Amino acid sequence: MTETADFTLTSGENGDTLVFSGPMTVATLGGLDARLREIETPIARIDLADVPMMDTVGAWTCWRLSRDTGAEIVHPCEAAERLIGALEKVDDGGEPTQAGGLPVWLRVPAKVGDTVFGLAAGAVEVLGFFGQMLLATWGLLRHPGRFRFNALVHQMELVGVNALAIVGLMSFLVGIVIAQQGAVQLRQFGAEVYTVNLVGRLTLRELGILMTAIMVAGRSGSAFAAQLGTMKLNEEIDAMRTIGVSPMEALVLPRILATVLMLPVLGVYSAVVGIIGGAFLSSLTLDIPFFSFLARIREVVPVHDVWVGLFKGPVFGLIVSVAGCYQGMQVKANAEEVGLRTTSAVVMAIFTVIVLDAFFAVFFTEVGWG
Amino acid sequence: MTNPVLEGEDVLIRVRDLCNAFGPHVVHEHLDLDVRRGEIIGVVGGSGTGKSVLMRAIIGLQIPTEGSIEVLGQSITDARDDHEISIRNRWGVLFQGGALFSTLTVGENVEVPLREFYPEIGDELRAEIARYKVLLSGLPAEAGDKYPAELSGGMKKRAGLARALSLDPELLFLDEPTAGLDPIGAAAFDQLILNLQQTLGLTVFLITHDLDTLYEICDRVAVLADKRVIAVGTIPQLLALDHPWIQEYFNGPRGRAAKAAQERAATAGTPG
């Protein structure tokens, strides 16, 4: 459409007349509007004789001018008359609400305040969620028949079995890195043989379980949040509740239990694969044969390192799965929230896991399991 | 008289020989349909006869296996990607659930097509346009500041209509606009569509199961059965046909009730 709309302002003895020309449609009026709003002289008439075509945007422009200035609309074509009439009927004279933006010096403290109160309320809510979970567990203990065994096995497959490949690959590489970097440093003291201690103790006690927890938080914790969040948006969770199925029992508990059970298993698996990775590298570059490396592990790693790793497994599993399920169940409004909640679930899980891991490291050393 | 192909008329949508299939499941087989400029055409058919698929094919969301579709003189089936369909600013679509963008308010939803196609429109005018579109769709002005999650089902439909009307389209696609509305709300929605169609000169492609809507506002009704459009015409024309599905559809208990309601309304409307 090459034709554009335009207007001229002519003054006569009975006041000014605004004469429009050209088609007044959504496609032609964009540039005109700013100029129209600059007119400050009172307008007595709006002449539409030269307007061959009009849509509601054109009609709105005329109607707004006539409403605000009291101008009379003259020579409208039939379509214009009809459209302006229709708008006149629905318009209540109000203005669009402006997006209320606070000035910067207020917006920053307001944001900080919101965050603080949000954190406080969030802490209470997590506690509430945890309580609900314990109640549901208690209910299941009293009525074990209601326990969803199939759901548990399915989740164990998703969380545990399907993660074997990626966790294995990651652990193998981490084992290689520890052995390689450790050997470089220890060689300076002629103590390369202690690479075995380094790999064995680090993987069994710390890294195996920590890396696995981070991987499971990224793989499964995020999936829990996104699944439950989407179900919440689709009202599937409400539907379950009305059928008499408790979402806590059917959705949340199997996921949490599956993660709590599978994380220690994955952690031990990760440590074993990490040690194999270390042994593999040592046999290639350190002249420690593969099987002597494995035999040395038994001598240099105290058994309480395994207990420490196994103890942390279920705790981390609980944190990862509760974070995921809690964030998922909190979704209320829209698709964007599902994304935000999924992010929070992963961040909250990984952060808490690392803080607790630091605490455990100090704690177990202090109690003599150093 | 009830042939889906019109000869020598001002046709806005021309569907020829359309075939749609999902794997082995054939939805449409050699389907023809013409829609006149300025009419409200109702599309009916049993569940699963491909009414929504037909609409999705016409607006370019579903690539047909065969056939040609022309809308407003432009071929939809020859367009290789979305950008080639340059008539998108001349139609509006209301999806079944409203399909509002959930992270935007109703007003912002209405502004989206305006921003996309006419970025030169200033903020002030755009906000005013969004506001009167919301009012035109029969929503209160406050609804413009609400998020879709805060609206009832009927309000979402109206908000979806406001967005569909955002660019003053010539052609409006409505997928079951009155499904899920209460009878009063549905009747008001029918009147709203009729009103807008008359004021704005729209052509309306309307999928519906609502017999009242068909009697009340549709100029012609297209019947989908046996994988194609078996007949198009006014309801009396369709009733004159001897097709079992059409007879059952319009002469079933609900069909008779809707007809009676329309006759009552017609006699009450005539003075004296």
Q: Which of the residues B115, B158, B197, B199 would you substitute to probe the A interface, choosing the one with the greatest number of A C-beta atoms within 10 Å?
A: B199
Whether residue B184 is contained in a domain is answered as no
**In angstroms, what separates the C-alpha of A241 from chain B's closest C-alpha?**
20
The first and second tokens of residue B132, run together, are 């009167």
pLDDT digits (tens, 9 = 90+) for A161-195: 999 999 999 999 999 999 999 999 999 998 888 99
The dihedral region occupied by A287, where left means phi > 0, alpha psi between -120 and 50, and beta the remainder, is left
Give the DSSP H/E element, type plus range, for residue B113: helix B106-117
**pLDDT of res. A307:** 92
**A262 pLDDT more than 90:** yes
Helix residue ranges, H only, B144-222: 153-164, 183-200, 211-217
Residues A175 and A229 grouped into a single domain: yes
**pLDDT of res. B166:** 87
Whether residue A121 is contained in a domain is answered as no
Residues A160 and A280 grouped into a single domain: yes
Whether residue A256 is contained in a domain is answered as yes
The first and second tokens of residue A41, run together, are 């002289």
**A225 pLDDT more than 90:** yes
Structural domain including B130 reads 91-168
**pLDDT of res. B272:** 41
Q: Which of A90, A119, A153 is the last residue of a domain?
A: A90
pLDDT digits (tens, 9 = 90+) for A43-93: 888 888 888 888 888 888 888 888 888 888 888 888 788 888 888 888 877
- A31 lies within 8 A of chain B by CB: yes
Residues A85 and A142 grouped into a single domain: no
Residues A48 and A187 grouped into a single domain: no
Whether residue B108 is contained in a domain is answered as yes
**pLDDT of res. A334:** 80
**pLDDT of res. A155:** 95
How far is B239 from B249, CA to CA, in rounded Å?
10
Structural domain including A335 reads 133-366
Output A200 or A70, whichever has higher pLDDT.
A200
**pLDDT of res. A208:** 92
CB contact under 8 A, A26 and B118: yes
Instruction: Provide the ipTM.
Output: 0.76
| Mean pLDDT estimate for chain A | 89
Whether residue A209 is contained in a domain is answered as yes
- How many folded domains does chain A comprise? 2
Q: Which of the residues A35, A36, A56 would you substitute to probe the B interface, choosing the one with the greatest number of B C-beta atoms within 10 Å?
A: A56
- A333 lies within 8 A of chain B by CB: yes
Whether residue A108 is contained in a domain is answered as no
Residues A70 and A149 grouped into a single domain: no
**pLDDT of res. A1:** 45
Which residues of chain B are within 8 Å of residue A92 when distances are taken between CB atoms? 135, 141
Whether residue B128 is contained in a domain is answered as yes
Task: Scan for tokens 């609309």, then name that residue.
Answer: A73
Residue of B nearest to A82 (CA): B199
- How many folded domains does chain B comprise? 1
Residues A261 and A144 grouped into a single domain: yes
**In angstroms, what separates the C-alpha of A282 from chain B's closest C-alpha?**
55
Which residues of chain B are within 8 Å of residue A83 when distances are taken between CB atoms? 199-200
Whether residue B104 is contained in a domain is answered as yes
Residues A281 and A334 grouped into a single domain: yes
Whether residue A116 is contained in a domain is answered as no
Whether residue A10 is contained in a domain is answered as yes
Which residues of chain B are within 8 Å of residue A57 when distances are taken between CB atoms? 125, 129, 168
Whether residue B100 is contained in a domain is answered as yes
Quick check: helix, strand or coil at residue B217? helix
CA-wise closest residue to A70 among A92, A44, A91, A48: A44
Q: Which of the residues B86, B124, B132, B195 would you substitute to probe the A interface, choosing the one with the greatest number of A C-beta atoms within 10 Å?
A: B132
Confidence of residue A213 (pLDDT cuts 50, 70, 90): very high
**In angstroms, what separates the C-alpha of B101 from chain A's closest C-alpha?**
9
Whether residue B140 is contained in a domain is answered as yes
Beta-carbon contacts of B103 under 8 Å, excluding residues fewer than 6 positions away, are: A334, A335, A336, B147
Chain B residue set in contact with A, beta carbons under 8 Å: 89, 102-103, 107, 114, 118-122, 124-125, 127-133, 135-136, 141, 144-145, 147-149, 165, 167-168, 195, 199-201
**pLDDT of res. B84:** 66
Confidence of residue A27 (pLDDT cuts 50, 70, 90): confident
3-state helix/strand/coil string of chain A:
CCCCCEEEEEEECCEEEEEEECCECCCCCCCHHHHHHHCCCCEEEEEEEECCCECHHHHHHHHHHHHHHCCEEECCCHHHHHHHHHHHHHCCCCCCCCCCCCCHHHHHHHHHHHHHHHHHHHHHHHHHHHHHHHHHHHHHHHCHHHCCHHHHHHHHHHHCHHHHHHHHHHHHHHHHHHHHHHHHHHHCCCCHHHHHHHHHHHHHHHHHHHHHHHHHHHHHHHHHHHHHHHHHHCCHHHHHHHHCCCHHHHHHHHHHHHHHHHHHHHHHHHHHHHHHHHHHHHHHHCCCCHHHHHHHHHHHCCHHHHHHHHHHHHHHHHHHHHHHHHHHHCCCCCHHHHHHHHHHHHHHHHHHHHHHHHHHHHHHHHCCCC
Q: Which of A28, A61, A90 is the last residue of a domain?
A: A90
Q: Could you give the C-alpha distances from B19 to B57, B77, B208, in angstroms and in order?
A: 10, 12, 22
Q: Which of A39, A67, A90 is the last residue of a domain?
A: A90
Residues A65 and A138 grouped into a single domain: no
How far is B94 from B177, CA to CA, in rounded Å?
8
pLDDT means over runs of 10, chain B (272 residues): 76 88 87 89 86 88 86 79 73 86 88 86 87 87 87 87 88 86 83 82 88 87 87 87 85 80 74 46
